[in-house]
Structure 1
Amino acid sequence: MSAQKKAIVFLCEGAEEMEFTISVDVLRRAKVEVTVVGVELASDVAVCSRGVKIAPDVKFSESLKADDYDAVIIPGGNGSAKTLGAHEGAKKLIMDFYNSKKIVAFVCAGTLVAKAAGIPSKHTVTSYPAVKGQLDNFYTYSDDRVVVDDNVITSRSPGTSFLFALTIVEQLVDVKVSSLKPA
């Protein structure tokens, strides 16, 4: 039996609640150990894009290492994308995951963080349609709901969050998502 998979999901002010919550929930249902990492939070909780307040498990620390995890997930939301796109430590950690051939997954405006972190232009990505113009001059752009290109997974919006999360599970734990049953 293989070791339990582990993932980081970033949480920032202005994160898109559905993209964050659905990703964490689906991964945990698949028995992935998820660590919610708060980045530059104004208090002990993040105030998300629709006012929902969510508490992280830990705050970002330079001691976080890609070697200790199997995937990193970046939810969208303009506030989240701006914070992570400017956070040198988070961008370095994302690139450590990428360079180690571990899953790096971005949804909605979160795909802007892929570019900011330095994920190479050779990839095909998707994103929230409103940020397409900031990406399609750099990446090959797809209008698909979810795109898997090597170890990079991208998705479009809150409405594609379940498919995004289930795709991560399929890639991470190599199971067919039809075997996941709600608890």
Structure 2
Amino acid sequence: MSASKPRVLVPIADGTEEMEFTIVVDVLRRAGVEVVTAGLDGTRPHRCSRGIAIVPDVPLAEVRGPFDLIVLPGGGEGSVRFERSAELGAVLRAQQAAGGGIAAICAAPSALAAHGIGKGAAMTAHPSVRDAVAAHGQWCEESVVESGTIVTARGPGTAFEFALVLVARLCGDDIAARVRAPMMFED
């Protein structure tokens, strides 16, 4: 945990899963985290997997760290774009080299594998990318998996749990509980 306000980078590409992007950004901001959204293709609206357009804060090319955490939302097409982005790969490798946190949900753990992030770590992901993730790390079936500085989750249905785990890691369990309470989850 950072002594000051935690800072998180959330990249977006065309084809990103909008629920995962929006839930993660929203929950982190509710916790008081500074979230920077960065577009792989600049600040133009990025068309997500279900057709919703999201305008990022900054182009990925202009992102300047440090960040306490980088979070990759999933989505099949968006994750492939993350895999193919040399620029994102460089940002992720710098984050890993600095010992910073990296998280990915749904198909996005395949981008971690493609860029050599978290080799050997326990990971989960959407079943559609199981082979790529299992070849890179230790495959797990849990909804959310924490392995050192790497956090992964399965898909849209786990997005709230994933986001709250990230809040707990960045801000502590008390803040995570305060953010969770008004969301009306059934216990």
Correspondences of 1:14-29 after superposition (within 5 Å): 14-29=15-30
1:87 Cα deviation from its structure 2 partner: 0.8
Q: Deviations over 1:90-129 (max 9, x none)?
A: 1110111112111100000000011011114220100001
Misfit runs of 4+, over 6 Å: none
TM-score normalised to structure 1 length: 0.92
Alignment-mate amino acid for residue 95 of structure 1: R
Maintained 8 Å contact 2:113/2:132: no
1:182 Cα deviation from its structure 2 partner: 4.5
Aligned length: 180
Maintained 8 Å contact 2:38/2:63: no
Which residue does 2:105 correspond to in 1? 107
Maintained 8 Å contact 1:103/1:172: no
Distance 2:57 2:65 in 1: 17
Q: Deviations over 1:26-53 (max 9, x none)?
A: 0000000001100026x71011000011
Which residue does 2:69 correspond to in 1? 71
The 10-residue stretch of structure 1 (80-89 or 155-164) with the greater mean CA deviation from structure 2: 80-89
Alignment-mate amino acid for residue 76 of structure 2: N
Distance 1:126 1:2 in 2: 30
Sort the Cα spacing of 1:2 and 1:120 in 2 relative to 1 into closer, same or farther, 3 A: closer
In structure 1, list runs of 5 or more residues that go unmatched. none
1:136 Cα deviation from its structure 2 partner: 1.3
Correspondences of 1:50-129 after superposition (within 5 Å): 50-61=50-61, 63-67=62-66, 69-129=67-127
Maintained 8 Å contact 2:105/2:155: yes
Alignment-mate amino acid for residue 170 of structure 2: L
Distance 2:24 2:123 in 1: 18
Which residue does 2:147 correspond to in 1? 149
Which residue does 2:178 correspond to in 1? 179
Distance 2:141 2:27 in 1: 23
Identity %: 31
Maintained 8 Å contact 1:65/1:93: no
Maintained 8 Å contact 1:72/1:104: yes
1:15 Cα deviation from its structure 2 partner: 0.3
Which residue does 2:48 correspond to in 1? 48
TM-score normalised to structure 2 length: 0.90
Distance 2:116 2:65 in 1: 16
Distance 1:48 1:162 in 2: 19
Distance 1:39 1:30 in 2: 26
Distance 1:11 1:121 in 2: 23
